[in-house]
């Protein structure tokens, strides 16, 4: 036996008095994790020297940790051999819940960044909240989303270490709580660097009440927000619009203040209470505006604990912080009402006023008169994005087009004032999880041809390009794709009791459910194909499986209506014997990181169809690309950079561009399109003509009205579904026809993989480290 295998056996014996063949999943999970943690403990505990970067984020969507940690420690093969010898399924840990302390792209980006930094030896520490319940679990009844609390700690938390001795007190107006840190090791590939993710848990100053440890109590606690535990009880399941709740502001302040206090404590221990050189030791990246209250909080701490004068403290704050913008949608730019802010954070508010006064002076000096565009405090609101731009030295967007939109359309007044602060950092994803781990077959295919250097130097992927010309390689690639479809089929049968036709083309759209991401457009286009097949308008259709996965925020009724609609389309298609040999539609339940790891490697076509100008970057587009899917997409977010690198001829770009939409936006008349084009009318009418039913909820009528009449504050068809409908249908049929030539299609896929080099988060995090944090 290998030493690590012996260590696992020992843990099982000492902790559970059992042995591998007899242990249950929970025991195995905890024993393997504990043994693995032991192997990197000393490396982890070595003090960090020099400047440290800190990633403040309300979300970390880590997924399942055990496989990636074992991979990075080089212990995965040994562990699997042990399981095999004990007669245990290699899939045993699939039962373990994901760490889902995030909603979607923003939280997953944070997780990829941590992996990339540790792998490259960059000292980057994550700071966030240890939510008792992460993103809800989703299932469907009659095609409608049902939510269930995510009790992720049911399996234990072997990758966290509670640091009781480092807890700090956080004070709100009329309430004080403990913030207790739970540290997780972030293990770089190769195990040489182990960074830390510190997640804060809120606890009462009085002894902890263990009775609260059940779901019902916690939900009550959320209602009674004055219970300390309520502060870290639940993740807000809303990744774009502001919940507008006191508790949300409390959460933000809670982890911001706790993290800053812990940094100041560490600084003080080393350098004393002269904080003038704080920014030489720490760079802090604000992942969106959620941690922006850190700005006035650090000012407060420097001026009270450090007795600094305002100007001096401001300089430290500005040098310390940098801000990443993730969305330009007006409704998602965080603001807090003044009375709310003042009542929750009475001690912090005066520092917002100091910032506002300083800004006012600057605007006078620059002779700017329309100050209402800039004011941090305006119309009874505190504007967090403005604060994040004003009091930091860097504001970055997350893809080229997104950064340009920030500069010229969303926040041009700020760009005019401080052009030097604006910069782009196109997102990336870690190829360790999103290729090496989730697609071992393709990883081996790549390594056989270009060596294993790509695992830590993704630019080497370009060396794969010549193999796109090699017939044997294309054939091998297709065999791998087939294998990944078979594996997905097994998984989906277990999870969703659905049988996939693995001979089919797999066309996949997985991401949070949002109108701007246009899952409804995808569904309309599927209906158009369905009707086209029934009418004989479409012939020679290559059999296709259309797969969706998405969670809708529980309060986002229209998004839930879209889920129900797609499930109804799936029923219509799947039970129609005239078409179900050439079409399948499935909406998988509980889409999460682990499901993504099964779905993405099996895809032939990656659906990235957001309205141009709305998706800041996207990252699933990159995951699909490196797994050899072609992009069916609009000119939006990182899709643009993806097809520029991989060749437009190897992808399918369609639809209106930002400039086109800019031109038509005041005259756009979706109802005219609906009236002129029978194919549009036919699919849109399925919402109201009885073809499909919403079970009497009225959701479908509301969707219909939102497209043709406008609903709530939006214009009709605010996301231009009808505008892009025909070009989208055309592009899909084109791709479908191309797919018939499997060999030629495989070439496109290989060229996409070979061009994926820039889309690693290793590259992104290096750019942050060099250009923003100056490490
Ligand atoms: C990558 C990822 C996302 C982000 O997907 P986009 O298509 O870029 O919005 C969301 N959820 C999960 C589980 C992911 O892995």
Q: What is the pTM of this model?
A: 0.97
367 and 438 fall within a common domain = no
Percent pLDDT > 70 in the chain is 97
So what's the pLDDT on residue 330?
Answer: 78
421 and 435 fall within a common domain = no
511 lines ligand 1 (CB under 6 A): yes
Query: How many C-alpha atoms does 586 have within 13 Å on its Cβ side?
Result: 24
484 and 367 fall within a common domain = no
Ligand 1 centroid to Cα of residue 596, in Å, is 8
Token pair of 430, please? 């870690």
DSSP of 44-83: HHSPP-S-EEEEE-S-EEEE--HHHHHHHHT-HHHHHHHH
CATH number of the domain encompassing residue 295: 3.40.50.2000
Ligand 1 centroid to Cα of residue 586, in Å, is 18
pLDDT at 438 > cutoff 80: yes
pLDDT at 213 > cutoff 90: no
| 511 flagged as catalytic | yes
Contact (CB, 8 A) for 624 and 532: no
Least trusted range by pLDDT, from 180-189, 397-406, 709-718? 709-718
325 and 443 fall within a common domain = no
CA distance 100 to 103: 7
Mean pLDDT, residues 671-696 taken together: 97
Number of independent structural domains in the chain:
2
Contact (CB, 8 A) for 589 and 543: no
So what's the pLDDT on residue 266?
Answer: 97
The secondary element (H helix, E strand) that includes residue 577 is none
Please say whether the dihedral angle defined by the alpha carbons of residues 761, 766, 771 and 775, taken in this order, is positive or negative.
positive
467 and 389 fall within a common domain = no
Strands 99-101 and 60-63: antiparallel
The pLDDT-based confidence of 206 (bands split at 50, 70, 90) is confident
So what's the pLDDT on residue 331?
Answer: 76
The pLDDT-based confidence of 328 (bands split at 50, 70, 90) is confident
381 and 501 fall within a common domain = no
What angle (nearest 5°) sits at the alpha carbon of residue 324, between those of residues 320 and 326?
160
Asked, for residue 261, whether it belongs to a domain, the answer is yes
419 and 435 fall within a common domain = no
So what's the pLDDT on residue 339?
Answer: 94
So what's the pLDDT on residue 612?
Answer: 98
Token pair of 187, please? 């293990």
pLDDT at 241 > cutoff 90: no
Asked, for residue 659, whether it belongs to a domain, the answer is no
Token pair of 131, please? 């939510």
CA distance 687 to 707: 11
Asked, for residue 345, whether it belongs to a domain, the answer is yes
pLDDT at 112 > cutoff 90: yes
CA distance 468 to 473: 7
Query: How many C-alpha atoms does 339 have within 13 Å on its Cβ side?
Result: 0
pLDDT tens per residue across span 308-326: 999 999 999 999 999 999 9
Mean pLDDT, residues 461-489 taken together: 98
So what's the pLDDT on residue 220?
Answer: 56
46 and 136 fall within a common domain = yes
CA distance 593 to 603: 15
428 lines ligand 1 (CB under 6 A): no
Token pair of 769, please? 């480290």
Token pair of 468, please? 């796109």
pLDDT at 702 > cutoff 90: yes
Q: Identify the CA nearest to 19 among candidates 9, 34, 29.
A: 9
| 246 flagged as catalytic | no
Asked, for residue 655, whether it belongs to a domain, the answer is no
Asked, for residue 672, whether it belongs to a domain, the answer is no
Token pair of 543, please? 């059999």
3-state SS track over 253-272: HHHHHHHHHHHHHHHHHHHC
Which ligand 1 atom sits closest to the C-alpha of 619?
8
Identify the residue whose C-alpha is closest to ligand 1 atom 1: 620
Identify the residue whose C-alpha is closest to ligand 1 atom 8: 618
Average pLDDT score, the chain: 95
620 lines ligand 1 (CB under 6 A): yes
469 and 492 fall within a common domain = yes
What angle (nearest 5°) sits at the alpha carbon of residue 459, between those of residues 457 and 464?
110
Name the catalytic one among 326, 432, 474, 551: 326
Ligand 1 centroid to Cα of residue 429, in Å, is 10
Asked, for residue 407, whether it belongs to a domain, the answer is yes
So what's the pLDDT on residue 225?
Answer: 57
| Residue keyed to tokens 């609009």 | 634
So what's the pLDDT on residue 332?
Answer: 77
236 and 374 fall within a common domain = yes
Strands 194-204 and 124-129: parallel
406 and 460 fall within a common domain = no
Ligand 1 centroid to Cα of residue 648, in Å, is 23
224 and 349 fall within a common domain = yes
Asked, for residue 290, whether it belongs to a domain, the answer is yes
Mean pLDDT, residues 727-748 taken together: 98
Token pair of 97, please? 């819940």
Ligand 1 centroid to Cα of residue 624, in Å, is 11
Mark out the alpha helices in 278-410 (DSSP H runs): 278-281, 294-304, 310-320, 338-344, 349-365, 384-390, 400-405
Domain holding 645, by residue range, is 431-650+721-757
| 619 flagged as catalytic | yes
Read off the DSSP letter of residue 240.
S
Contact (CB, 8 A) for 668 and 723: yes
670 lines ligand 1 (CB under 6 A): no
pLDDT tens per residue across span 161-205: 999 999 999 999 889 999 999 999 999 999 999 999 999 999 999
| Biggest alpha carbon–alpha carbon distance for the chain | 79
DSSP of 708-764: HT--TTSPTTTT-HHHHHHHHHHHHHHHHHHHTSHHHHHHHHHHHHHT-GGGBHHHH
Q: Identify the CA nearest to 128 among candidates 150, 107, 153, 112.
A: 107
So what's the pLDDT on residue 245?
Answer: 78
So what's the pLDDT on residue 242?
Answer: 54
Asked, for residue 666, whether it belongs to a domain, the answer is no
Tell me the three state secondary structure of residue 397: strand
Name the catalytic one among 511, 564, 598, 732: 511
Name the catalytic one among 407, 474, 512, 747: 512
pLDDT at 212 > cutoff 60: no
CA distance 428 to 398: 9
Read off the DSSP letter of residue 699.
H
Residue partners of 672: CB distance under 8 A and separation at least 6: none
| 326 flagged as catalytic | yes
């Amino acid at each position: 036996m290998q030493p690590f295998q012996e260590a696992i056996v020992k843990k099982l014996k000492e902790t559970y008095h059992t042995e591998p063949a007899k242990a249950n999943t929970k025991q195995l999970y905890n024993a393997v994790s504990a043994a693995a943690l032991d192997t990197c403990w000393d490396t982890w505990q070595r003090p960090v020297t020099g400047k440290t970067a800190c990633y403040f984020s309300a979300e970390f969507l880590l997924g399942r940790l055990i496989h990636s940690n074992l991979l990075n420690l080089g212990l995965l093969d040994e562990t699997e051999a042990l399981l095999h010898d004990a007669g245990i399924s290699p899939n045993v840990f699939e039962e373990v819940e994901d760490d889902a302390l995030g909603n979607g792209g923003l939280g997953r980006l944070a997780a990829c960044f941590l992996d990339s930094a540790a792998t490259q030896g960059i000292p980057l520490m994550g700071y966030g909240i240890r939510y008792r319940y992460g993103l809800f679990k989703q299932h469907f009844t009659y095609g409608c989303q049902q939510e269930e609390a995510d009790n992720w700690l049911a399996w234990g938390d072997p990758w966290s270490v509670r640091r009781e001795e480092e807890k700090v007190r956080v004070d709100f107006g009329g309430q004080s709580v403990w913030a207790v840190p739970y540290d997780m090791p972030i293990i770089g590939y190769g195990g040489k660097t182990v960074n830390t993710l510190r997640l804060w848990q809120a606890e009462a100053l009085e002894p902890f009440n263990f009775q609260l440890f059940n779901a019902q109590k916690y939900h009550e606690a959320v209602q009674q927000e004055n219970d300390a535990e309520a502060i870290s009880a639940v993740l807000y399941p809303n990744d774009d619009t502001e919940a507008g709740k006191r508790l949300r502001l409390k959460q933000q302040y809670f982890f911001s203040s706790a993290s800053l206090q812990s940094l100041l404590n560490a600084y003080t221990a080393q350098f004393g209470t002269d904080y003038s050189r704080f920014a030489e030791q720490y760079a802090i990246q604000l992942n969106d505006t959620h941690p922006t209250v850190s700005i006035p909080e650090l000012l407060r701490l420097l001026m009270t604990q450090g007795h600094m004068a305002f100007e001096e403290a401001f300089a430290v704050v500005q040098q310390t912080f940098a801000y990443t913008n993730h969305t330009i949608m007006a409704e998602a730019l965080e603001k807090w009402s003044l009375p709310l802010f003042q009542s929750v954070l009475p001690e912090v508010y005066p520092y917002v006023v100091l910032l506002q006064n300083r800004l006012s002076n600057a605007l006078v000096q620059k002779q700017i008169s329309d100050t209402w565009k800039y004011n941090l405090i305006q119309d009874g609101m505190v504007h967090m994005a403005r604060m994040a731009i004003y009091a930091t030295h860097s504001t970055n967007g997350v893809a080229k087009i997104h950064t340009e939109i920030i500069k010229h359309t969303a926040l041009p007044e700020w760009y005019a004032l401080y052009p030097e602060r604006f910069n782009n950092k196109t997102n990336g994803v870690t190829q360790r999880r999103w290729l090496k781990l989730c697609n071992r077959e393709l990883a081996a295919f790549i390594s056989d041809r270009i060596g294993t250097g790509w695992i830590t130097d993704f630019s080497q992927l370009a060396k794969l390009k010549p193999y796109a010309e090699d017939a044997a390689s294309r054939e091998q690639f297709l065999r791998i794709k087939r294998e990944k479809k078979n594996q997905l089929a097994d998984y989906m049968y277990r999870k969703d009791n659905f049988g996939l036709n693995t001979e089919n083309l797999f066309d996949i759209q997985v991401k949070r459910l949002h109108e701007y991401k246009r899952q409804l457009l995808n569904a309309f286009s599927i209906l158009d194909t369905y009707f086209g097949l029934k009418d004989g308008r479409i012939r020679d259709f290559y059999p296709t499986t259309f797969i969706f996965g998405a969670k809708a925020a529980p309060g986002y009724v229209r998004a839930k209506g879209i889920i129900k609609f797609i499930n109804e389309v799936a029923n219509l298609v799947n039970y129609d014997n005239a078409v179900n040999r050439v079409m399948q539609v499935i909406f998988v339940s509980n889409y999460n990181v682990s499901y993504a790891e099964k779905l993405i490697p099996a895809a032939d076509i990656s659906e990235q169809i957001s309205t141009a100008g709305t998706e800041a970057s996207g990252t699933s587009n990159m995951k699909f690309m490196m797994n050899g899917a072609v992009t069916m997409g609009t000119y939006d977010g990182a899709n643009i950079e993806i097809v520029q690198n991989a060749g437009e001829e190897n992808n399918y770009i369609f639809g209106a561009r930002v400039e086109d939409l800019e031109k038509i936006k005041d005259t756009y008349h979706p109802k005219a399109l609906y009236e002129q084009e029978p194919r549009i009318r036919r699919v849109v009418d399925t919402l109201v003509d009885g073809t499909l039913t919403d079970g009497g909820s009225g959701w479908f009528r509301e969707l219909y009205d939102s497209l043709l009449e406008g609903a709530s504050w939006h214009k009709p068809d605010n996301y231009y579904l009808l505008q892009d409908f025909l070009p989208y249908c055309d592009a899909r049929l084109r791709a479908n026809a191309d797919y018939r030539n499997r060999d030629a299609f495989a070439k496109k896929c290989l060229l996409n993989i070979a061009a994926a080099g820039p889309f690693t988060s290793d590259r992104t995090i290096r750019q942050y480290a060099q250009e923003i944090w100056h490490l």
